[in-house]
Chains A and B, each alone.
Chain A
Amino acid sequence: MRYFFLLLKRSRVLLYFLLLESLAFAWIINKRSYQRSQFLSATTEIKGNFQGLAAQTKAYLNLKEENEQLARENIRLRESLDESFIFQNFGADTINSSTYQQRYTYIDAQVISSSHFKVENYILINKGQLSGLEENMAVIGPSGVVGVISNVSKHFARVIPIINPNLRISAELAQDGYFGPLRWLGEDYRESSIQDIPPYANVKTGDTVKTDGRSSFFPRGITIGWVKSTSLQADQNFLEVTVSLSTDFAKLRNVYVVKDLWINELDSLNMRP
């Protein structure tokens, strides 16, 4: 017994070191737990308040570029307005207004902090529960898909962008219509890849990749990026398509949160046995 205590005394530094390390690793490994999400929404609030200040000053420095980007988007939207089309209807038709129901509304928000060089990247935006944001809402940017909301606090929300390996969404090739899961491989923030495309699909380089209606997060037809190259998967049975992403996560500032007005109806249908 005496030797045991002597041993304990001798290796006390090592034991203390191992204790601290195991605490740290427990923290790392438990990061997907319920406590984490609770803890996160509290720290999200604190961090958001601090970083909102920094983001405000940065926003002033980028005003010119942001304006140009928004102007381009305005042009695109204006082009799709009713008044941009000539209405040629020479017969007398009734317009069935119930066929034009609104499904999605958008809430605009600004990015206040983001990362794109880590393996698990996250984005913080400046709207939260009080603005009607909820978990699992889609987030899009001026040039395409950004990600999905993972946590919300009162005034802020945390977004998992598509450049985080934990998020998978369904992507569709615009020309062929084949679809597969879009998954980021954790290397370059400008690229991602789609798996499980059938080998007989005629995938062309430069083809647009869009969200597809199968994902319950995103509206159909929002640009994800363009096909860069294709290669055979490791299992030799399916193609893997490398996509260059349309959203530049290095300079993302304005985003829109998509609110699906029909989500309850859809969920209740999915719930049914």
Chain B
Amino acid sequence: MNLIKSIFGLLALLFLQIFILNNFLFDGYLNPYIYIAFILFLPQRSSVFYTLSLAFLIGAIVDVFEGGYGVHTAASVFIAFLKPLIFRIFRAGKNELSESSDVRQLGLFRSLMYVLTGLFLHHFILFSIENFALDNLLPLLMRSLYSSLFSFTFVLLYQLWNYRR
């Protein structure tokens, strides 16, 4: 049951990303990419191989539909690899309660910061790979920051909708 639920959630995210968000760009800066939230919200217990493979698959699907040629795949695999590290940083100072859920472990504020950091890193990596150079770093950083904040609001809305069901 849980599996079906998360598959449905993934499909909903991908649908939202490919057919709605990809078609609407807000000002030059804002390209929201929310599919990475699925990777970030995967339980920390799950195996790293599983996370990496799933990230590869999701990135590849977005790439095929958006004409990104592996850009999204590279970025989302990278985030899947970094995810345990980011999580550990935000968990610093809290004692480990392996049974409870990730949000319960971190607390609300730290969870939000964790997601925001993940989104920012993803956008930054994505845009840098797209440019294939780091020569104009400041516009790149600004663009990542604005886009990740924007994606963040979408992720919040999505989570609210998810919890209500």
Contact = CB atoms under 8 A, between A and B. Distances in A.
Given A20-B56, A47-B65, A113-B23, A27 B49 contact: no
5 contacts: A16-B52, A20-B73, A24-B59, A26-B70, A118-B130
Interface in A108-123: 113, 115-119, 122
A24 B81 contact: no
Is the contact region of chain A dominated by helix, strand, or loop, or is it mixed? helix
A242 B64 CA distance: 34
Among A16, A17, A113, the one with the most B-chain Cβ atoms within 10 Å of its Cβ is A17
Interface of B: 19, 23, 25, 28, 31, 48-49, 52-53, 55-56, 59, 63-65, 67, 69-71, 73-74, 77-78, 81, 129-131
A214 interface: no
A25 interface: yes
B48 to A, nearest CB: 5
B74 A25 contact: yes
Given A20-B52, A25-B74, A28-B69, 5 more contacts: A17-B81, A24-B77, A27-B63, A43-B64, A122-B67
A16 B19 CA distance: 31
Interface in A215-249: none
Interface string A42-74: 010001001000100000000000000000000
Given A43-B64, A54-B23, A117-B28, A24 B73 contact: yes
Contacts of B131: 119
* Leading 8 A-B pairs by shortest Cβ distance: A27-B70, A24-B74, A24-B73, A31-B69, A28-B70, A24-B70, A17-B81, A20-B77
A21 interface: yes
A190 to B, nearest CB: 10
A21 B31 contact: no
